[in-house]
């Protein structure tokens, strides 16, 4: 099984790229996030690979980092989520945003991804709710019933009023609370939240 490729980026197309490794061109499917992180051809690049072997094809899926690859593996465990839908989700949402969406049961965030309807979004949210907190991405998952109180609630309001989506703002604030503690002042939480959202 191929786990990683190091080679020249020969070309980048919609949803895929070609990596030339010692004269052999590998067709690698990837999210728009990973494709955007690749250098302009022809430049040497490293890309993590998930290999899927089927009766009629061997497909390679590429990732810029291990967090995205781990989320791809987890998403494809959900019935109805194939590789194409998983890549579409990872194109629309970063690992941090996926953690936040699952933690807050934000169905609308998932249905913005092509191929994810309301029923599939509900299945993803229910099946991954217990597992999302342990996934990489830097976010901290909490039950959807947890509502920010005090300064955290005010900071959340401030961030959403600045135009950030609620799921993104909650994810950033959860990281800020984990770093600075629940007694952190409002201005500290807002600054930390903005810093997290800028990443």
Quote the CA–CA distance of 199 and 185 in Å, as a whole number: 22
Q: Residue 1 — very low, low, confident or very high, per pLDDT cuts 50/70/90?
A: confident
- Is 46 within 8 Å of 5 (Cβ atoms)? yes
Which of the four CATH numbers 2.40.50.140, 2.120.10.80, 1.25.40.340, 3.20.20.100 does domain 4-63 have? 2.40.50.140
Q: Looking at residue 199, what is its pLDDT?
A: 65
Q: Once rounded to an integer, what is the mean pLDDT over residues 153-165?
A: 86
Residues in the chain: 199
172 vs 121, more confident: 121
Phi, psi for 151 (deg, rounded to 5) = -60, -35
SS (HEC) of the chain:
CCCEEEEEEEEEECCEEEEEECCEEEEEEECHHHHHHCCCCCCEEEEEEEEEECCCCEEEEEECCHHHHHHHHHHCCCCCCCHHHHHHHHHHCCHHHHHHHHHCCCHHHHHCCCCCCHHHHHHHHHHHCCCHHHCCCCCCCCCCCCCCCHHHHHHHHHHHHCCCCHHHHHHHHHHHHHHHCCCCCHHHHHHHHHHHHCC
pLDDT number for residue 139: 41
Q: For residue 137, is pLDDT > 70?
A: no
- Specify the pTM: 0.68
Sign of the torsion formed by the C-alpha atoms of 132, 133, 134 and 140: positive
Q: What residue ranges do the domains of the chain occupy?
A: 4-63, 66-134, 150-197
Render pLDDT for 20-50 as a digit per residue (tens, 0 to 9).
999 999 999 999 999 999 988 888 999 999 9
What is the spatial distance between Cα 191 and Cα 176, in angstroms, rounded to a whole number? 9
Residue 96: per-residue pLDDT: 84
pLDDT of residue 23: 93
**What pLDDT is stored for residue 140 in this prediction?**
39
**Rounded distance, CA 94 to CA 199, Å?**
11
Pairwise CA distance, residues 18 & 10, whole Å: 5
Measured from the Cβ of residue 131, the count of other Cβ atoms closer than 10 Å reads: 12
Q: How far apart are CA 166 and CA 59, in angstroms?
A: 36
Which one of 3.30.70.260, 3.40.50.970, 3.10.450.40, 1.10.150.20 gives the CATH number of domain 66-134? 1.10.150.20
Q: What is the CATH number assigned to the segment(s) 150-197? A: 1.10.8
């Amino acid at each position: 099984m191929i786990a990683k490729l190091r080679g020249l980026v020969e070309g980048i197309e919609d949803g895929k790229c070609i990596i030339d490794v010692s004269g052999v061109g590998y067709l690698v499917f990837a999210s728009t996030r990973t494709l955007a992180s690749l250098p302009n051809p022809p430049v040497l690049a490293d890309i993590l690979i998930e290999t899927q072997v089927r009766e009629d094809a061997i497909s390679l899926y590429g990732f810029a980092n291990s967090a995205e690859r781990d989320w791809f593996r987890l998403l494809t465990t959900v019935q109805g989520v194939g590789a194409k839908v998983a890549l579409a989700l990872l194109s629309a949402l970063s690992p941090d945003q996926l953690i936040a969406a699952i933690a807050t049961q934000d169905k609308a965030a998932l249905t913005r991804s092509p191929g994810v309807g309301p029923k599939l979004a509900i299945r993803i949210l229910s099946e991954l709710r217990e597992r999302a907190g342990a996934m990489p991405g830097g976010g901290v998952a909490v039950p959807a019933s947890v509502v920010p109180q005090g300064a955290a609630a005010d900071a959340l309001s401030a961030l959403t009023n600045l135009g950030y989506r609620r799921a993104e703002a909650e994810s950033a604030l959860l990281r800020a609370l984990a770093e600075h503690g629940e007694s952190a002042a409002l201005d500290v939480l807002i600054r930390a939240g903005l810093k997290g959202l800028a990443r």
